[in-house]
Structure 1
Amino acid sequence: MNDNFLEPQPLGVPCPQCQKELQLKKGRFGLFVGCSGYPDCDYMTSADFDPGTDVTCPDCGSGKLVQKTSRYGHSFYACDRYPSCRFSVPLPPVAEACPKCAYPVLLRKKTTAGERLICGNSDCDYKSAIR
């Protein structure tokens, strides 16, 4: 990529709607892929640099948890089957079961003392030792 990252970067891939070239662009919510023919063509999709985690959604059981950005710029992890599944967590998920309640997802929490795993179930108070 070029030094000036605010400029659209050509991707060499044709737009599925108008066949013009797709570009990697930076918007107020982060990176996205858009058509170079904008405003005539309004095709837009997310930039999949972090396609997600290998953690299966504990609510629906079929989706994967992917990193997303809120409208305020904060990262969170949500099911990729949204809107049919609305599961989300504020911390990076780990595909390990909780030893206390057997909830299938632990969350990686960084503190000033170090990093620890906490249970993704709000009713459980499990916290691992500081690593």
Structure 2
Amino acid sequence: MTDNFLEPQPLGVPCPRCQRELQLKKGRYGLFVGCSGYPDCDYMTSADFDPGTDVPCPNCEKGKLVQKTSRFGHSFYACDAYPACKFSVPLPPVAESCPTCNYPLLLRKKTAAGERLICGNDDCDYKSEMR
């Protein structure tokens, strides 16, 4: 990269929509990857794009849960079939069933005392032992 971080930096990767080169750009909410053909092509993704997890969505059972970032900078996990499925959770998902209610998703919660798994179902109060 050059010393001027405000200028778009070429990445040498083709855009999945129009095959022009992707660039690392700086925007209002930080760094992002966008197409060099903007405004003709408005493809963009986060600079630290994570392709997702292998955890299936418990709501639609078709999509996978992927990590996203809110406009306030907080991470959350949502179904990649959005807008057809609007399921999301605030904690990292684990593909295990709850032993209490058999809900197909547990969430990894970190506390000062350690890490534990909690049920993704709001009606269930299951919490695993500290790890």
Normalised TM-score (structure 1): 0.84
Q: Over aligned residue pairs, what C-alpha RMSD do you find?
A: 2.3
User: Match of 1:129?
Assistant: 129
Cα distance between partner residues in 2 of 1:111 and 1:4: 40
Give the aligned partner of residue 111 of structure 2.
111
Q: Is the partner of 1:52 in helix, strand or coil?
A: coil
What is the distance in 1 between the residues matched to 2:64 and 2:10? 29
Letter in 1 for 2:43: M
C-alpha distance in 2, partners of 1:10/1:73? 25
Matched, 1:71 2:82: no
Contact between 2:35 and 2:44, CA under 8 Å: does it hold in 1?
A: no
CA contact (8 A) 2:109 2:115 kept: yes
Q: What residue in structure 2 maps to residue 96 of structure 1?
A: 96
Any gaps of 5 or more consecutive residues in structure 1?
none
Q: Distance in 2 between matches of 1:3 and 1:98?
A: 51
CA distances 1:65-107 after superposition (whole Å, capped 9, x unpaired):
0001111111100000000000000000000100111101100
Q: Contact 1:32/1:44 (CA < 8 Å) preserved in 2?
A: no
8 Å CA contact 2:103–2:119 kept in 1: the answer is: yes
* Residue in 2 that maps onto 1:34: 34
Identity of aligned residues (%): 78
Distance in 2 (CA, whole Å) between partners of 1:106 and 1:4 is 44
User: Partner residue of 2:54?
Assistant: 54
Q: What are structure 2's unaligned runs of at least 5 residues?
A: none
User: CA offset at residue 13 of structure 1?
Assistant: 3.0
Residue 46 of structure 1, CA deviation: 1.3
The number of equivalent residue pairs is 129
Q: Which moved more, 1:44-53 or 1:81-90?
A: 44-53
- Letter aligned with residue 88 of structure 1: S
Q: 1:23 to 1:104 in 2, by over 3 A?
A: same
User: Which residue identity is paired with 1:45?
Assistant: M
Sort the Cα spacing of 1:118 and 1:6 in 2 relative to 1 into closer, same or farther, 3 A.
Answer: farther
Residue 83 of structure 2 aligns with an amino acid whose one-letter code is P
